[in-house]
Chains A and B, each alone.
Chain A
Amino acid sequence: MASQSLPYRQKEGLGVWENRGKVAFVGIGHSPCVRRWDEKIETSLGEFAKIAALNAIADAGLTLDDIDGVQSAPGPLGDRWAPRPYLAPPFDSEDGLSMVTAEWLTKYMGLKKVRYADNRGGSVGNAAVLAIEAVASGLCNYCLVLRPLNNFEGRYHQVGAASNRGGEAEEKASGPSQWEIPYGWAGPSWFATLAQRYLHEYNYSHDNLAAFAVNNRRNGLMYEFGYYYQNRAEPLTEEDYLKARWITKPFNLYDCDIPVHTAGCFLVTTAERARHLKQRPAYILSHSSGSRIARSLEVTLREYEESAVRVARIALEGAGLTSKDIDVANLYDGYAPFALNWLEAWGLWGVKRGEGLDFLQGDHFKVGGPHPFNPSGGNIGTGRGHGTAHITDTIQQVQGRAGRRQAKKADVAAMAIMPPGGTGIVLSSHPG
């Protein structure tokens, strides 16, 4: 386990990232994406993680013996498996069932050359950043980035009728959540208040989100690794969206990503090594990460917006670019309105604060249009991959292999992972 401090880029004024264009994504791998685990070993989270990793390795044209780094955002995301009885080894603990650590995957896959294994970061965005920096600093040469996402039968995120804000199910509410969870103040509710404030402050209604949600499903049905593509090839109409039941206002059913059971994996290496592999390199021009944004228990819309702006500014500054240089973007939408905050923060296509929903009307932001936005389908169009779809599609866009989702121009692409305050990454088809 690496022990140095985390190499996140969280401050403005850092200038161009010193490793700009020197590291690249070279492989993508996914397991099947299903609604829930059917409790068979071959569909366990550990096995899905292995499938995703093998696919990423094969996609890059590498072998298991090439892999010397594993970075995981291990989870769990949904409930833990316990108190249900564990299975035979190596599925005799949470590791491999509700989570998959770098060490577990290394052992299960028989990776013999691993010299860097790390489980910090929490999100796949931060995990990608840690892998990128591990490669850039020479801790490893070929690093897998793993994000497993479990969904068991039961009450998602409600073990003991409580969960923490970190997304981890807990037996008891602790920390700040002890003042919130007992009153039903959990993820959807407190994000909903921010969304409601956004709609109020900028004079929108919830219905204005319909075109965005419909477009994400449309794109998601072209994303072969997603839940809807694989399991429910149902288009979503504006009427479907507008008639859907409320989850917590202003979020309806289709503003919330559907929990799924799946794993995604990416391969990172140096630009020099990447040039000799199977796929065109997706060069990493920059990355940025958020930091704590609230001065109290509850974050305000303004704090939220400023945090997103900071992440976007650092990412663009690190890439030596401006928002005008971005051709295509995948911005996180676990709850649909997140994407608005990110869009405005990045200032893509001239969109300023409060203008996001004016922009996301009509069809100009469809794949093939002048402003390709979330061609991956995002979370709400593909399932709760927690940003894996955003990463996959952004890589494929600059590699020119996004198929039916391919934007007309995709030399430079931006992604934002997790809610505002999360991770920003800029990719390019050229090292710059």
Chain B
Amino acid sequence: MRILLSFDIDGTLEVGDPPGPITIDMVRRAQGLGCLIGSCSDRTLSGQRSIWAALDIQAGFVSLKHRLAEVKAQFQVDRYCHIGDTNIDEQSAREAGFDFLRMDAAASEPWVQWVDGLGSKRDGAEHTNDR
């Protein structure tokens, strides 16, 4: 299963301000499993690129929060998921046709099971298009 993971930064990633529960190791592990990872944040695009560069991670994309749909149009995968900490994150995910996973639920790295095809779409990610 091909999976795209979009990470909000502030309040979600450990390098955000405030720091969130998603560690960079988790992000690296997801990438190592073959997930396409990137960020979707209210930070500027250049600011997001700087963060990934400082972490020496090749992000597949960076996006503004209200432009997540453009990411979906750019990449063809089996599952799109945005991980964030706010209602705006959830709204952005819903409008872009992404699943939404709150950062605290995402800290259990459910995508490990998704990649193995073991997890269902009901394992923490809100299937936002059902609403």
- Binary interface encoding of chain B residues 19-62 relative to chain A, with 1 for a CB under 8 A from any of its CBs, else 0: 00000000000000000000000111111001000000000000
List the 10 closest pairs (A to B, CB-CB), nearest first.
A245-B66, A234-B47, A240-B44, A35-B17, A36-B18, A35-B18, A231-B17, A234-B44, A253-B42, A245-B65
Q: Would you give 26 A-B contacts (Cβ < 8 Å), ordered by A?
A: A34-B17, A35-B10, A35-B17, A35-B18, A36-B18, A38-B18, A153-B18, A232-B17, A232-B43, A232-B47, A234-B43, A234-B44, A234-B46, A234-B47, A235-B46, A236-B44, A240-B44, A240-B45, A240-B46, A243-B64, A243-B67, A244-B42, A245-B42, A245-B64, A245-B65, A246-B66
Chain A contacts with B in 199-237, Cβ cutoff 8 A:
231-232, 234-237
Complex Cα gap A153–B17 (Å): 12
Number of interface residues of A (CB under 8 A): 17
Neighbouring A residues of B42 by C-beta, 8 Å: 244-245, 253
Nearest chain B CB to A74 CB, angstrom units: 24
* Contact residues in A for B10 (Cβ distance below 8 Å): 35
* A253 partner residues in chain B, CB cutoff 8 A: 42
CB contacts (< 8 Å) of B44 on chain A: these are: 234, 236-237, 240
A40 to B67, CA, bound (A): 36
**Which residue on chain A has the smallest CB distance to residue B48?**
A234
Name the A residues within 8 Å of B50 (CB-CB): 234
Question: In whole angstroms, what is the CA distance A245 to B42 when docked?
Answer: 8
A88-128, CB under 8 A of B: which get 1 and which 0?
00000000000000000000000000000000000000000
Please indicate the chain B residues that have their CB under 8 angstroms from the CB of A35 in the complex. Answer: 10, 17-18
Interface residue count for B (Cβ, 8 Å)? 14
Residues of chain A within 8 A (CB-CB) of B66 are 245-246
- Of all chain A residues, the one with the shortest Cβ separation from B88 is A245
Q: Closest residue of chain B to A155, judged by CB? A: B87
A245 and B89 alpha carbons, distance in the complex (Å) = 12
Least CB distance from A377 to B in Å reads 16
Q: Which residues of B contact A237 (CB under 8 A)?
A: 44, 46
Q: Kindly provide the distance from the CB of B20 to the nearest chain A CB, expressed in whole angstroms.
A: 11
Contact with A along B57-83 (1 / 0, CB 8 A): 000000011110000000000000000
Complex: A243 Cα to B47 Cα, angstroms: 14
**What B residues does A246 contact at CB under 8 A?**
66
CB distance from A246 to the nearest CB of B (A): 8
Q: Which of A25-76 contact B (CB under 8 A)?
A: 34-36, 38
| Bound Cα distance from A38 to B20, whole angstroms | 12
Q: How far is the CA of A231 from the CA of B50 in the complex (A)?
A: 14
Q: Beyond the given A235-B46, A236-B44, A237-B46, could you list 4 further A-B residue pairs with CB under 8 A, ordered by the A residue number?
A: A234-B43, A234-B46, A240-B44, A245-B66
A35 and B42 CA atoms in complex are apart in Å by 14
User: In the docked arrangement, what's the CA distance between A237 and B18, Å?
Assistant: 24
Residue of A nearest to B66 (CB): A245
- B17: chain A residues within 8 A (beta carbon): 34-35, 231-232
Give complex CA distance A232, B9 in Å. 13
- Measured CB to CB, the closest approach of chain A to B70, in angstroms, equals 11
Report the separation of the CA atoms of residues A153 and B65 in the bound assembly, to the nearest whole angstrom. Answer: 20
Q: Which residue of B lies closest to A35 (CB)?
A: B17
What is the CB-to-nearest-CB distance from B65 to chain A, in angstroms, rounded to a whole number? 6
Please give, as numbers and ranges, the residues of chain B lying within 8 Å of A231 by CB-CB distance. Answer: 17
Cα distance, A236 to B46, chains bound together (Å): 9
Compute how far the CA of A234 lies from the CA of B66 in the bound complex, rounded to whole angstroms.
Answer: 20
On chain B, the residues within 8 Å of A240 by CB distance are: 44-46
- The B-contacting residues of A in range 235-258, CB under 8 angstroms, are 235-237, 240, 243-246, 253
| Chain A, 334-367, CB within 8 A of any chain B CB | none
A421–B46 alpha-carbon span in the complex (Å):
38
CA distance A235 to B18 in the complex (A): 20
Shortest Cβ distance from A230 into chain B, in angstroms?
Answer: 10
A34: B residues at CB distance < 8 A: 17
Report the Cα distance A243→B45, complex, angstroms.
10
| CB of B45, distance to nearest CB on chain A (Å) | 7
In Å, the complex CA distance between A236 and B42 comes to 12
Once the chains are docked, how many angstroms separate the CA of A240 from the CA of B50?
Answer: 15
The chain B residue sitting closest to A261, CB to CB, is: B18
Instruction: Enumerate chain A residues within 8 angstroms of B47, measured Cβ to Cβ.
Output: 232, 234
Docked CA distance A231–B18 (Å): 10
